[in-house]
Amino acid sequence: MIQEISLQDPAVFKTIMAMLCIFVGCFIRSTIGFGLAVVSAPLLYQISHAYVPGPIILIALLLSLINALTFKSKLSLQGLGLAVLGRIPGSLCGAMLLLFIHGKALSVLIGVIVLVAVGISLLPIKIQPNPFRLTIAGFFSGLFGTSASIGGPPMALLLQHQEANTIRANLSAYFLISCVISLAILIPLGHFGMEHLLISLPLLPAGLAGYAVAMRAIKIIPTHSVRMASLTICTISGVTAIVSAFLD
């Protein structure tokens, strides 16, 4: 007998809410180049701690591959190798955070870092990418990407003044490699196993739907709006991460 599926079932309701979060996150990520975890991670963490960081990183891996292929004509790998190099020790440190730092403290730390990054970006100066800054941004991207799946802001804030499709292409290529690094570290530590894989499966079609809708939206979104949206998303994410720590 096929069991009836009811929205009153807490497990079903949580899954639907998680799918909605991923849909919105993937829409934003495909539209402006980043934002999947920035938007969805604080909310998914409230639905179930198991969604962070592994399942989000898996969705980000799939979405990064699709976006990298979509915008491959705008791809410029110059300097991204240094960011990836910085990502490796950052990811290892992020894994250590998962072992020793309480979730609430980590949530507050992430929120503060994101808000500080937004404040720096709003200063009347342009932070131009250079080898040192790319390496440092890669480190902090790995630190927060592996520990809480929110690795976008450091790289996005550094690359935000590039042309919109170039941002999408370069960040997608960077995140593609970064997600592989993070998952390779999380799996032996037990932070991404069969349980996490199974709860990730319903999120895949939601992520693809968010991408499909975004491909229609980017044709009418100007570059300036891309930058302002990215800063707004970072601000909301930072505040949400801090507030959620005290509500949990």
With 0-12 CB in 10 A as exposed, 13-18 as middle and 19+ as buried, what is 214?
buried
The structure tokens 């990418």 sit at 129
Sign of the C-alpha dihedral computed for residues 229, 234, 237 and 243 taken in this order: negative
Q: How far apart are CA 16 and CA 14, in angstroms?
A: 5
pLDDT of residue 2: 44
In 2-130, where does DSSP find H-type helix?
10-32, 36-47, 54-70, 80-100, 103-121
Residue 17 CA to residue 123 CA, distance in Å, equals 36
Question: In a structure prediction context, what are the per-residue pLDDT tens digits for the chain, which is 248 residues long?
Answer: 345 556 567 888 999 999 999 998 899 888 888 888 888 887 888 788 899 899 999 999 999 999 899 888 888 777 788 999 999 999 999 999 888 886 778 778 778 877 887 787 777 777 788 999 999 999 999 988 998 888 888 888 888 777 878 888 888 999 999 999 999 999 998 889 999 999 999 999 999 999 999 888 888 877 577 667 777 877 887 887 788 778 76
Whether 202 contacts 82, CB under 8 Å: no
- For residue 222, the SS3 value is coil
The reported pLDDT for the residue numbered 4 is: 52
> Looking at beta carbons, which pairs linking 219-222 to residues 24 or more positions away fall under 8 Å?
221/31, 221/32, 221/164
So what's the pLDDT on residue 248?
60
Give the number of residues written for the chain. Answer: 248
Write out the two tokens for 232: 């707004």
Q: Let me know: does 142 contact 183? Beta carbons within 8 Å.
A: no
